[in-house]
Amino acid sequence: MKVAIIEDEELAANYLKGILLQQQLIPVREVVSMGSVKEAIAYFKATMPDLVFMDIHLEDGTSLEILEAVAITAPIIFTTAYDEYALKAFKHFTIDYLLKPFDEDALMEALEKFTVIKEKYQGEETYALVNQALNHLKTTYQQRFLVQQGHQFISITTQETAYFYAEGKHLFLYTQHGENYIYNSTIKEVITKLDPTLFFKINRNYVVHIDSVKRIIKHSNLKLEVVLSPTAPKKDKIILSKTEIKAFKQWLDF
């Protein structure tokens, strides 16, 4: 059996490959790995493996681009940092996934499900199911925000958004260019609309975009201070909630 791994993190790819070659549940004779959309498209146009492990975010794009370019007729198990809430789409379409970081037990459970998937889904049906699930996931999160400036409304994309800041009864949206607008929502509401791979709630006042985290300062009392760019509106230090430290480190991969 030939297995393909589409993963841009070399350590993750090697970890997965090692387990696949050692396990006894399915007979794996060859494992190939690649880390980019371009490599994957070229590979799938030339050959089709029996099983595919695929990360959603790659170094030069997303796995959706691969599926749009070539019909993958092999069962796919996704390895991703998306949270379980976002990945309900994959469960609904009976496509399995491994939530990073995953252990060997989780991988073996996915392989057991694969033995069922390969019998149930074949050819174009597999491609259609995966494409449907990824399109659902792609549109799950809000892509832009409508804010008012005087008598006009301005549309701001998630990529233009640096962070949300709550003060009193108001929620402010700050852009990467330092502009700020009142956004008609709350921290609690807005966090449910955002892609968790891009945004993180660091405390009750801030939800930040990953690109706005300029640096992190460790204090002697084990607290973490987050420095944002553009500069936060308050001069007070932005301290990460203690309950969020572990998740924050995983989010930033440090």
The model's pTM is: 0.50
Least confident of 37-46, 177-186, 196-205: 196-205
Q: Do 127 and 16 sit in the same domain of this protein?
A: yes
Question: Which residues have C-beta within 8 Å of that of residue 169, sequence separation ≥ 6?
Answer: none
Q: Do 223 and 115 sit in the same domain of this protein?
A: no
Domain's final residue, options 97, 112, 138: 138
Pairing of strands 30-34, 97-99: unpaired
- The number of domains in the chain is 2
**Residues 190-196, mean pLDDT to the nearest whole number:** 85
199-201: strand order across its sheet: 180-182, 170-175, 161-167, 206-209, 199-201
Give 221-241 pLDDT, tens digit per residue: 778 899 999 998 877 789 887
Q: Do 120 and 161 sit in the same domain of this protein?
A: no
Q: Do 134 and 10 sit in the same domain of this protein?
A: yes
Give 143-166 pLDDT, tens digit per residue: 889 998 888 899 999 989 999 999
Q: Do 8 and 134 sit in the same domain of this protein?
A: yes
| pLDDT, greater one: 110 or 20 | 20
Give me the amino acid identity at 210.
Answer: I
Domain's final residue, options 112, 138, 164: 138
Domain's final residue, options 138, 161, 194: 138
Q: Do 162 and 238 sit in the same domain of this protein?
A: yes
> Residue 252: what pLDDT?
84
**Residues 102-110, mean pLDDT to the nearest whole number:** 83
38: left (phi over 0), alpha (psi -120 to 50) or beta: alpha
Q: Do 159 and 105 sit in the same domain of this protein?
A: no
Domain range for 19 is 2-138
Q: Do 58 and 176 sit in the same domain of this protein?
A: no
| pLDDT, greater one: 174 or 237 | 174
Query: What's 14's domain CATH number?
Result: 3.40.50.2300
Q: Do 114 and 17 sit in the same domain of this protein?
A: yes
Q: Do 131 and 152 sit in the same domain of this protein?
A: no
Distance CA(48)–CA(71), nearest Å, equals 10
Q: Do 17 and 93 sit in the same domain of this protein?
A: yes
> Residue 85: what pLDDT?
44
